[in-house]
Amino acid sequence: MTNPTEHALPANSMVESHEGDFGCTVMELRKLMELRSSDGIDQINVHYGGVMNLCSRLKTNPVEGLSGNPTDLEKRKQVFGQNFIPPKKAKTFLELVWEALQDVTLIILEIAAIISLVLSFYRPPGEENEQCGLPVSSPEDEGEAEAGWIEGAAILFSVIIVVLVTAFNDWSKEKQFRGLQSRIEKEQKFSVIRNGHIIQLPVAEIVVGDIAQIKYGDLLPADGILIQGNDLKIDESSLTGESDHVKKSLERDPMLLSGTHVMEGSGRMVVTAVGINSQTGIIFTLLGASEGEEEEKKKKGKKQGVPENRNKAKTQDGVALEIQPLNSQEGIDNEEKEKKVTKLPKKEKSVLQGKLTRLAVQIGKAGLLMSA
């Protein structure tokens, strides 16, 4: 299992940097998983000499799986990446406060409150001289004039309450969501063959070269190529938008993608792409759900002296390449979905936030009426 691969490695021109002793690179496997049906089969047979030979290049046994050696597993993580998509950085409380302040109603109330406060403290320069020949004002009028600032302060106070409550609700919801997502990721496990034994392994611990057992109801955690299947049908609607189940077989279409559901049958696959290198990870990165990949690309571009606008153009070309596995109609559907998503409102107010906003508006109206 090891000797043929070791002798084949020197002939591979792509073995550079930290690609290790494996007979294929990350980019080669990514491009392979972009292919479908006959194109994928031809690439596997012509470039890799079949699925079994691909397993040999990845130094894995299609029957017994990986040995489970910690050194080997760590090396695979360094070369091919971890099965983890880094989330975007959480917004701070101050950022959420700033977002809450962007509400049009609150902006109007803020302006009205500031104007009210300025007018309450403003005294025309000649007012005292003009009042010398007039009757002395009553104590009630003087008290009302001195308390004029309360209206503006009340409006500002209501705006501050609305902003703080809105920001706190958003912050607590995001914190709960991230905690729930992290707990689900830790508890989610998948059947993998290691050292001849079927074990339940956390999804984040799956590496390229693992032999995974798939069955009805499974959500595939990584990209892979089918080794053996029995009446296997996959729901790829999460990636393609098509509700029709796709039949997978060695002769027809052996490509299995992360994020898709097994609807019928069972089988075994060799994992070829994980994390941000899988099809789901690529889509997440393109949609901005993960920042790690884009930041690394920008840093590399700056080091090589490439202008940022060229990097952006390359990124756009990359989008076309990455979405290439989807047919044209599917690509149009996805673009329409993305446009619909961008047209949706940024946030939906809760009942409490709506009531507080209405209360702030009413206080503002009352203040304006009283000042009039």
Whether the CB-CB separation of 210 and 62 falls below 8 Å is answered with no
User: What average pLDDT does range 72-93 have in this prediction?
Assistant: 88
Highest mean pLDDT among 129-143, 172-186, 187-201: 187-201
Which of these ranges, 11-20, 61-70, 123-132, 353-362, has the smallest mean pLDDT? 11-20
Neighbour count for residue 277 (Cβ, 10 Å): 24
Total number of residues shown for the chain: 372
The sign one gets for the Cα dihedral 212, 216, 222, 227 is positive
Domains of the chain: 3-83+206-279 (2.70.150.10), 280-343 (no CATH)
Stretch among 139-153, 185-199, 295-309 having the lowest mean pLDDT:
295-309
Please provide the average confidence, as pLDDT, over all residues in the chain.
76
Q: Residue 293: what pLDDT? A: 46
Work out the number of other CB atoms within 10 angstroms of the CB of residue 109.
23
Query: Looking at residues 65-79, what average pLDDT do you find?
Result: 91
The tens digit of pLDDT for each residue in 335-346 reads 554 444 444 444
- Residue 122 corresponds to which tokens in the numbers above? 């403003």
Rounded to two decimals, what is the model's pTM? 0.59
Structural Rg of the chain based on CA atoms: 31
Residue 345, CB-side half-sphere exposure with 13 Å CA sphere = 4
Strand partners, 214: 267
| pLDDT for position 112 | 86
Residue 44 · residue 82 · CB < 8 Å = no
Region 24-53 average pLDDT: 90
Q: Which amino acid makes up residue 16? A: E
Alpha carbon 314 to its chain's center: 21
Asked if 227 and 51 touch (Cβ cutoff 8 Å), the reply is yes
> Which range has the worst mean pLDDT, 71-75, 123-127, 292-296?
292-296
First to last CA, the chain: 90
pLDDT at 155: 87
Query: Distance of alpha carbon 270 from its chain centroid, rounded?
Result: 26
Report which residue type is found at 315: T
Asked whether the predicted pLDDT for residue 28 surpasses 80, the reply is yes
The answer to whether 250 and 218 are in contact (CB under 8 A) is no
Looking at per-residue pLDDT, the higher value among 261 and 356 belongs to 261
Is residue 266 predicted with pLDDT exceeding 90?
A: yes
Joined together, the tokens standing for residue 135 give 């009757």
What's the rounded mean pLDDT across residues 113-139?
65
8 A C-beta contact, residue 365 and residue 154: no
The gap from C-alpha 121 to its chain's centroid, in whole angstroms, comes to 50
Q: What is the pLDDT of residue 324?
A: 40
Say if residue 274's pLDDT is above 80. yes
**366: helix, strand or coil:** helix
pLDDT at 91 over 80: yes
Instruction: State the Cα–Cα distance between residues 228 and 194, nearest whole angstrom.
Output: 17
What beta strand segments (E) does 16-132 contain?
none
Averaged pLDDT for residues 152-175: 90
* Residue 76 confidence class, pLDDT cut points 50, 70, 90: very high
pLDDT of 363 higher than 90: no
Q: Is pLDDT at 10 greater than 50 in this prediction?
A: no
Question: 64 pLDDT exceeds 60?
Answer: yes
